[in-house]
Chains A and B, each alone.
Chain A
Amino acid sequence: AQSVTQLGSHVSVSEGALVLLRCNYSSSVPPYLFWYVQYPNQGLQLLLKYTSAATLVKGINGFEAEFKKSETSFHLTKPSAHMSDAAEYFCAVNGAGNMLTFGGGTRLMVKP
């Protein structure tokens, strides 16, 4: 079985501030982990993925995430938020089998 918990359904930051979106997972096998972003009325765009190589993963648009096995976490960060980062963010795990299990999502709001 696999599951994902995203802490905080809504996160608000000021433009230029640090972005931190939290993701904890459970998986019966070594997981592959993903972060996706969804803009209104659009599909999901892959930000970054962890596939058992380096634990610190860099993605697009300045985002990065660190895999911490001891904490079963895969938090997403960005040093400086931009207005264009406002969107819904989903963490997903691909454990046993070939299906992705998603968290409930975190809506990021960026204040000017």
Chain B
Amino acid sequence: DAGVTQSPTHLIKTRGQQVTLRCSPKSGHDTVSWYQQALGQGPQFIFQYYEEEERQRGNFPDRFSGHQFPNYSSELNVNALLLGDSALYLCASSPGGRNYGYTFGSGTRLTVV
């Protein structure tokens, strides 16, 4: 049973560029959340998608946007990249409901130069 799959694993972008990260949730999971983990810190919640709608959003600027497809996979888009956007981006999926432990992918390491 495949878990959460993220692509690409590593990415290097230049300031001002745009980037798209992809996530396939675990089989049976319909809810996808995105987190940003800066070096040496805990993950920070970006947003969550359910039924192709953004259900909740953390304290991130509008440069961060997302999408969920009918097959529950998801994309995270970041526009006008800043050096401070360099981080590990984690995707987590769950079958919905607060009492489920979210399953995390291995992440995409984004470096902005």
Residue ranges of A at the interface with B (Cβ–Cβ < 8 Å): 4, 32, 34, 36, 41-46, 49, 51-52, 90, 92, 94, 97-105
Contacts and interface: CB of A to CB of B under 8 A. Distances in A.
Interface in B67-92: 90, 92
Contact of A103 (B42, B56, B101, B102): B42
Contacts of B90: 43-44
B63 interface: no
Nearest to B43: A102
Given A44-B43, A49-B101, A105-B41, A99 B106 contact: no
> Across chains A and B, which 7 residue pairs bring their CB atoms closest together, nearest first?
A102-B42, A51-B99, A46-B101, A44-B104, A43-B104, A99-B45, A43-B106
Interface string B44-79: 110010000001101000000000000000000000
Interface in B6-44: 31, 33, 35, 40-44
Contact of B56 (A49, A51, A99): A99
Interface core residue of B41, B55, B101, B104 (most chain A CB under 10 Å): B101
A98 B48 contact: yes
A4 to B, nearest CB: 8
**Which of A43, A45, A92 has the most B CB atoms < 10 Å from its CB?**
A43
B107 A43 contact: yes
A107 B107 CA distance: 19
A97 B106 contact: no
Nearest to A59: B101
Contact of B48 (A49, A99, A105): A99
